[in-house]
A and B are shown apart, each in its own frame.
Chain A
Amino acid sequence: AQSVTQLDSQVPVFEEAPVELRCNYSSSVSVYLFWYVQYPNQGLQLLLKYLSGSTLVKGINGFEAEFNKSQTSFHLRKPSVHISDTAEYFCAVSGRGSARQLTFGSGTQLTVLP
C-alpha cells in the first residue's frame, strides 16, 4: 500500500517570491513520483516526474523537485513565481510493483498575489 501527504492545503505567496510545496509519501516498495498541476477549469497535466537517477528533477515552467529517499519526501520548488502559476498542485506516487497504480495527495492550492 502507498499513501501521499501534502502538508499544506493552501499556499499564498507574492509574485516573484520563492515557493515550496511539500509532499511526503509512504510505500513498501520503490516508487516513481510525480507532480501534476491543474489550472482553473482544466484537467491535470504533468509538471515533472522522478523515475530514477538524479534526485533533482526539473519540470516545465521553471519548477523543480528533489527526491529525498531517507525523508520520503518529494518537495516542489520554484525560485520566483508568477501570477500565472496560480493553480492546484497534486503530488502522486506509483509503486514499482506490478500494479503501478497512481495514488494522489489531497492537493495544494497555490495562489500568487500581485
Chain B
Amino acid sequence: DADVTQTPRNRITKTGKRIMLECSQTKGHDRMYWYRQDPGLGLRLIYYSFDVKDINKGEISDGYSVSRQAQAKFSLSLESAIPNQTALYFCATSEREGRTHTGELFFGEGSRLTVL
C-alpha cells in the first residue's frame, strides 16, 4: 500500500460545484502539503500544515480551503470550482523540523481534476 494515498484519483465536475480531495498518510509525518501541477509551471504550493492546529497558505491559496482532520489526514476543498482549477493535484508529507529535516517531500500519486 502507498504511504501517501489520495482520493479520488480522477474527477470530472462542473463549474460551481463543491469538490473535496482527500489525502491520508501512514508515514507518521507531522507536515502535510497540497500542490497543484500545471504544464510548464511545475508544482505550486496551495496550502501546508505543520500539525493539526497549524494551517498556512501557500502561493496560490485563493479559491481553495483545507482541513487537517488528524495527523494522518489533510483534505483540500474547492468551494465553487471553476475551469482554471483544472489541474493535477498532489498531496505530500515531510518530517517535522529537527536535525534530520531536509525539506524532502514524499508524494501521493495525484488527483486529476477537470472542471467543465
Q: CB within 8 Å of B: which residues of A?
A: 6, 9, 32, 34, 36, 42-46, 49, 51, 90, 94-95, 98, 100-102, 104-107
Contacts and interface: CB of A to CB of B under 8 A. Distances in A.
Contact of B102 (A45, A94, A104, A105): A94
Secondary structure class of chain B's binding surface, majority of residues: loop
A106 B94 CA distance: 21
Contacts of A34: 103-104
Given A46-B104, A102-B104, A107-B42, 19 more contacts: A6-B42, A42-B109, A43-B4, A43-B90, A43-B108, A44-B105, A45-B107, A49-B104, A94-B102, A94-B103, A94-B104, A95-B103, A98-B97, A100-B103, A102-B94, A102-B105, A104-B42, A106-B40, A106-B41
B45 interface: yes
B53 interface: no
B43 interface: yes
B3 to A, nearest CB: 11
A44 B41 contact: no
B97 A100 contact: yes
A104 B103 CA distance: 12
Max chain A C-beta neighbours (<10 A), residue from B104, B107, B108:
B104
A104 B110 CA distance: 16
